Structure 1
């Protein structure tokens, strides 16, 4: 735990908590407006959260070389998270386009 300074730990932990809060807010927004694709976005945010938690775990154990596999897992989760976020954004865009074509949403 000596590898990072206290302010750096604070930023790491605050970022994870902020991401978790964002997941909850996106989920609630999706429920409030009745659009399941927004709840899908909150699911798509989970791999990135898990990747961040891997990074924190690795730092917690002083970047122990025996845990280098955690870095690989973190990188893989980041890649997966980027892909799931892109897919969720596409689903939101596609749903918005479908609503516009049906004339259900105000164009302004």
Structure 2
């Protein structure tokens, strides 16, 4: 959560909204991590097996959103150079 906040603030300081997109794109990865932590904290109970599916889905979604956000950041720097 701290990394998300720092990246958001960096976007404010640099006035580059692409960094805001990265901070929002990190949210599915945070949900994925929280699912994994919860699953293990409660010692992997069978009643929480749905959480494994949610964690996998959030990992895939997080990877896609982070890839898109990174592309927008790359594109924003590329347009500045031209």
| TM-score by shorter chain over 0.5 | yes
Q: Name which one, 1 or 2, has greater alpha-carbon Rg.
A: 1
With normalisation by structure 1, the TM-score equals: 0.73
- Whole-angstrom distance in 1 between the partners of 2:17 and 2:76: 10
Deviation of 1:57 after TM superposition, in Å, equals: 1.2
Deviation of 1:60 after TM superposition, in Å, equals: 2.2
Alignment of 1:10-89 (within 5 A): 20-89=1-70
When you count helix as a share of all residues, which structure comes out higher?
2
- Whole-angstrom distance in 2 between the partners of 1:33 and 1:95: 12
With normalisation by structure 2, the TM-score equals: 0.95
> What do you get for the CA RMSD once the two structures are aligned?
0.8
After the TM superposition, which of the residue ranges 33-42 and 53-62 deviates more from structure 2? 53-62
Structure 1: 5+ residue stretches without partners: 1-19, 102-108
Q: Which runs of 4+ in 1 moved over 2 A?
A: none
Structure 2: 5+ residue stretches without partners: none
- Whole-angstrom distance in 2 between the partners of 1:72 and 1:53: 13
Q: Deviations over 1:3-42 (max 9, x none)?
A: xxxxxxxxxxxxxxxxx11111100000000000001100
- Whole-angstrom distance in 1 between the partners of 2:36 and 2:69: 24
Q: Report which structure shows greater RCO (CA 8 Å, sep ≥6).
A: 2
Deviation of 1:72 after TM superposition, in Å, equals: 0.7
- Whole-angstrom distance in 2 between the partners of 1:78 and 1:58: 15
